[in-house]
Structures are given as structure tokens and as C-alpha cells.
Amino acid sequence: MDIRQLRYFVSIVEYGSLGKAAEKLYVAQPSLSQQVAKIEADLGVTLLVRSSQGMKPTPAGQALYRHARLMLRQMDQLRQEIKADVGGESGTVAVGFPTTMTPLLAVPVFERVRARYPGIRLQFFESMSGYINELLANGRLDLAILFRESNTAGITAMPLFDEELYLLGEPGGDVAPRARTCRLASLAGASLVAPSVTNGLRLLLERTFSREAIPLNIVADIDSLPTLLSIAHSGAACTILPASALASREVANRPKMRRIVDPEIRRPASLCWSNTAPVISATLAVRQIIVELIAELAESGAWTGITLRPPGDAH
């Protein structure tokens, strides 16, 4: 195998199609197929299979993809450091943000990195936390903010803060229109919309309502933050999200927000990275900037509903 073949293979996996990968790489599709066949012959395993969704990697293909991504990133980093001649703080750093945090963090991180480390090229990925976790595990990301507080296999977690969840919308019942808080018991049977069952927030809600013996009535599974907020604003149903989810909405289009009490619902957030790959200096620089900005946003009151974890705090 050589670097060119690995780059071809990674492109096929990421595009899910020989045709799309060939178009992106400016390589004839038969030639691309031949290169994959050579890798498979060299390793003695099948790496890709056709499915109704396109080309999918086998378990062996997934393993090669993870390692190939790491090798290609290290090669790109080496090339950029040599060309830029600006020391260690250069190269590409890929960062994953949960959708609710992007409005608060993405632009400030971009601006500070550009001002302090012009040799660093950022890549931002925004999605629901489950997909961000998958990208980190597959080597697509150098850093990601995930809702966890401890290390897992292959992933190191630096606890950042605990995030409080709020009721968005008007549940009716015994919740007064002007009330700023809402007892969890008041949401018994209330119509709620929430992310689907694969999302960590959904699991947290189900566990909390079950523990408190309160009926949870989720009327729709919606993996779209704008849609969740629009439904809550319309009055058709409520949702439960962090206050940061409202950061990108104009005040006139924001649903009513109330703190959930008796009990509160909180979740930990950590800055995570792979512990199976070497961490380059550019990644360390971006990591420090993210930590700095979160502390500043919390202390200034710009980020509502989070409690910073002390440095080194992990449970």
C-alpha cells in the first residue's frame, strides 16, 4: 500500500460511492476500482461491499479507514509545518460541536485561533452529539465536545462544565404563564418533542422521568434543533433543551424558557480526543482556546445555565 491508495480508499468510504470519489479525485472510476482491488489483494481481505446505500466498508475496511485517516492527517500536518515554517502551531485541526453549542462557540473559536495562530486551519463539524461521537471514534475529528464526564475506550475526556436543561414552550396545566420555573411533576403527560432514541439527551430524559415516576409523553422524535424550537414557539408542544439552544434565535422567535426544578436535569460536557493517536501542538493550542472561551462565556453570563468544573475534575 502507498499513501495514494490510502487516500483513494478514504475518499470512497467518505463519499460512499466509487463514482463520487472518482469525480472528487479526478481519477477514472476503473482505475479507482483497481487500486482498491490491489489493497484487498495485499491484505487478503474484503474491504468494501456494495449495498442499497452505496459502497460500505466491512469491519476490516472500517479498521483500515481509521488508521488511514490518522496517517493521512499526520502526512498533511508534516507537509503544512514544513511549508509554513511557523513552528508547531500550524496544520489542520478538526473540531466537532453539538448543535446547541455552535452558536455560542464556533465563531469565537474561529476568531481567536485566527488571531493567535494564523498557521492553523480549522475544520468545524456541527451535528447531534451521537454523530459527533462517531466522527471522533472514526478519526475524522481531533477534538469534540461530548456529553460525558469520564474516559472511555480510546477516548480521553476533559470535564468542562455541567449544563442545566430547561423547558421550552407552554405546557399549560398548573404551570403559571409568568412562572420562571417548572416542577418536573408538572410535565406529567405534557406533549413533548425530543431527539430520537439514539440521542443522549433523549436517554437522559427517559431515565429522569422514569426515576421520578412521572409519565413522559413524547409525541414526535425530531433530530433537528430549528424544528424543535419552532414547535415549542408555536405552542403545539414543548421541548427540553439547554439555554444555549436559543442563542441563535431572535428574541421574538424564542419560546418561553423555564428552569426545571424538583429535580433539576443536568448533564456533563467534556472536551474529548482520541488517546490512540499523537496529539499535535496545533490541537493543543485549539484545545486551550476552547477551554479559555468557555470560562469567559460562563463568567460573563453570556452562557446561561452552565456550571464550570474545577480543573482536573472527573468522576
Mean pLDDT, the chain, as a whole number? 89
Calculate what percentage of the chain has a pLDDT beyond 70: 95
Stated as kind and residue range, the H or E segment containing 253 is none
pLDDT of amino acid 252? 84
pLDDT at residue 84 above 70? no
Helix extents (H) in 164-272:
200-211, 225-234
- In which band, very low, low, confident or very high, does the pLDDT at 312 lie, cut at 50, 70 and 90? low
Least-confidence region, from 190-194, 198-202, 224-228 = 198-202
pLDDT at residue 239 above 80? yes
pLDDT of amino acid 83? 58
Q: Is it true that domain 3-64 has CATH number 1.10.10.10?
A: yes
Beta bridge partners of 268: 162
- In which band, very low, low, confident or very high, does the pLDDT at 80 lie, cut at 50, 70 and 90? low
pLDDT of amino acid 240? 97
DSSP characters for 206-225? HHHHHHTT---EEEEE---H
- In which band, very low, low, confident or very high, does the pLDDT at 180 lie, cut at 50, 70 and 90? very high
Instruction: Please name the amino acid found at residue 164.
Output: E
Segment 18-44 shows an average pLDDT of: 87
Which residues, at least 6 apart from 218, have a Cβ–Cβ distance to it below 8 Å? 192, 193, 194, 202, 205
CATH superfamily of 85-161+268-308: Periplasmic binding protein-like II (3.40.190.10)
Domain boundaries defined on the chain: 3-64, 85-161+268-308, 164-265
CB atoms within 10 A of CB 274: 20
User: For the domain with range 164-265, which CATH number is right: 1.10.10.10, 3.40.720.10, 2.40.30.110, 3.40.190.10?
Assistant: 3.40.190.10
Are the folds of 85-161+268-308 and 164-265 the same?
A: yes
pLDDT at residue 13 above 60? yes
Residue 247: φ, ψ to 5°: -60, -35
pLDDT of amino acid 315? 47
Per residue in 121-175, pLDDT (tens digit) is 999 999 888 889 888 888 889 999 999 988 888 899 999 999 999 999 999 888 8
- In which band, very low, low, confident or very high, does the pLDDT at 17 lie, cut at 50, 70 and 90? confident
**Cα–Cα distance measured from residue 14 to residue 68, given in angstroms and rounded to the nearest whole number:** 12
Name the pTM for this structure.
Answer: 0.74
